[in-house]
Homo-oligomer: A and B are copies of this chain.
């Protein structure tokens, strides 16, 4: 009798709260592990180009900085295989059905990577605009990738992710003529939902706009290192 509907619903809410609290506590432990490096949690819809952006960014940064990558996916190690070709250390985490990475998975990944001397660790999350927003991994910040092919209404429809992003990469701008998309309207939508985010228009295919994104990343790496040096 005590398992009535309201009671069950309350138990579900309590458990969801305890799952998030446990995750936040582990994320804080990860943050201590990450104190000497910049950690970027890359999020987006499936197919918006996170892995392609990573590939190009790694190739541009690898001579100047020590880099590592944690790849998250529901299934397959295809993305890790692509990243390996850049010569950067990478490990793959499969969530086995879960729609996001969590702090515990990241901790397991970290145990398999040599992070000594690493300046920048990228975490590529599962392709999903909803679930990863709620889970802190211990990163310095989230960066959301939004493809021009997804239309200009996504910030308003998936606000949680955009509100939590330090930067937004509007990718595939090489397709803007074919798509007849109004990038100014998209920027206005982004500013409305996430005024805190720095927005870069990029193409992982052509390299357009990468200079600004990479300069911003380099400045963030240096800020983190300045904190470390006190």
Contact = CB atoms under 8 A, between A and B. Distances in A.
Interface of A: 8, 11-12, 15, 18-19, 45-48, 73-76, 78, 97-99, 126-131, 147, 149-151, 153-154, 156-160, 172, 175, 178-179
B46 A150 contact: yes
Taken together, the copies of this chain in the complex come to 2
A98 B133 CA distance: 12
B78 A47 contact: no
Contacts of A178: 175, 178
Given A73-B157, A126-B130, A127-B158, 10 more contacts: A8-B15, A11-B15, A15-B15, A46-B154, A47-B147, A47-B149, A98-B130, A99-B131, A127-B129, A147-B149
Which of A47, A129, A157, A175 counts the most B-chain CB atoms under 10 A from its CB?
Answer: A47
A133 to B, nearest CB: 9
Contacts of A150: 46-48
Contacts of A12: 15, 19
A160 B46 CA distance: 14
Given A78-B157, A158-B74, A175-B178, A129 B128 contact: yes
Contact of A128 (B19, B78, B99, B147): B99
